[in-house]
Structure 1
Amino acid sequence: MIQLSTSVCLLGGLIGLCLLEPVLTALTPASMCTPLRTLNDSLSHRRRYMKHNFPINYTIRVHQREVFKLSNISRLKLQVEGLDELVLQRLWFQVNQGVLKRIIRVMAERHPSRPYTAELERRFRDAEGVFVESYPAEVFQKELPEKIQDIWDSLTEEPERVPESSWRFTSPKSLLDNFCQTMYCLFGECFASKEAPQDYCGVFHRKKGRKKEES
């Protein structure tokens, strides 16, 4: 009888893992697309609010890990074997949570771009909430790959403990450009066009987006 119970438990655990595995490898849940597209609508105005309303060559200090580009995603996929897209999406939310806070922190209460940035942060939090609700709790309890955990730990470290060499200066608009480009890359299903499929993680798309911003 004890052997039978043990077998049943093992079988139940195996079935649970089989059910969880498709969740970890699934495409972006459809529920994510509406808040991400709403967020994208706000990001489409970033040139006006993050460039025109700031002094020329204005930069802010951020952690080097918060300068999160398409090249960072490509590098991580090469460095971490079998890296799950969901893990990168979790990292994307963690990175850009800090980015938005840093941008807001440098703005005076009456800065013309503050209402825009506050609304952008609100929409970001809405998207993050839907993201968390779209997966079983077990997904977020799963241990992160060592490389990703190191990045996560550095992002959550107390500012006074961060070495001076780990800080970078970059413009608010560049940060939001990275924000937008990596969002398209990691949640491409929400922005895919049936008529003209694009590689949102590719260098060509990054250059194309830059030219569009400058035009």
Structure 2
Amino acid sequence: MQAGYAAVLCVLAVLGLEAAAPGECEITRLLQDKLQYEMRLQYMALCSYPPFQKHYFPINYKVQVQYEEVLRPSNITHLRNRTVSEPALRYLWFHINSQAVLRIHEVLPEKHPSWKYTQELCQLFDALGKEYSKYRQTDVETVVADLVKLVHSTGVESRRKAVRPKALLDNCLKVMQMLYRVPCQWEST
């Protein structure tokens, strides 16, 4: 990213404007394509059809995540009402969902049909992380910085919650569309 463009983004972030870097928009558009309903259903659904049951997630399978790793549209609405800036919300969405996708990926054996799919999602989040690497945690509101620290802390005793993998990805897509549709000029889906 050019230094001048990065400076403009920092100024916009400080002012709380809804700017999103072109790299963010491109990567989140790819994520949106990967998170379409058919793919989430195909790779994350609970399969009850006997020939495929051993390959996909068992009935009622859930992943243990920190309570804070479940980010719903209602959480974003609540934070917006507290006047948290849009860039800070996108920063929070990235950190929470990159961890959620990583947790799903970690429970899958390498030969599992969903392993490659989740690996591709992890790679897209890694690419998005490079976009956010210039965005310092001190630049975001305290509430967001505290949540990001909590999500990345391993030694802190946190509340755990059992969540279906598909539900995590459903929330990931819904919140991503809330946060990126306007600044990236996406058409409604």
TM-score (norm. length: structure 2): 0.79
Partner of 2:127: 126
Q: Is 2:64–2:160's contact at 8 Å kept on the other side of the alignment? A: yes
Distance 1:143 1:27, change over 3 A: closer
Instruction: Say if 2:147 is the partner of 1:151.
Output: yes
| Aligned Cα root-mean-square deviation (Å) | 2.4
Q: Is 2:86–2:179's contact at 8 Å kept on the other side of the alignment? A: yes
Q: Is 2:13–2:87's contact at 8 Å kept on the other side of the alignment? A: no
Instruction: Give the 5 Å matches for 1:11-160.
Output: 20-24=10-14, 25-44=17-36, 45-51=39-45, 52=47, 53-78=56-81, 80=82, 82-132=83-133, 137=134, 139-140=135-136, 142-158=138-154, 160=155
TM-score (norm. length: structure 1): 0.70
Partner of 2:176: 183
Distance 1:175 1:31, change over 3 A: same
Alignment size in residue pairs: 169
Q: Is 1:89–1:186's contact at 8 Å kept on the other side of the alignment? A: yes
Partner of 2:186: 192
Could you tell me which runs of 5 or more consecutive residues in structure 2 were left unpaired when the two chains were aligned. 1-6, 48-55
Distance 1:21 1:191, change over 3 A: closer
Distance 1:19 1:121, change over 3 A: closer
- Deviation of 1:39 after TM superposition, in Å, equals 1.4
Structure number with the higher helix fraction is: 1
Could you tell me which runs of 5 or more consecutive residues in structure 1 were left unpaired when the two chains were aligned. 1-16, 199-208, 210-215
SS across alignment from 1:162? coil
Q: Is 2:138–2:145's contact at 8 Å kept on the other side of the alignment? A: no
Distance 1:46 1:142, change over 3 A: same
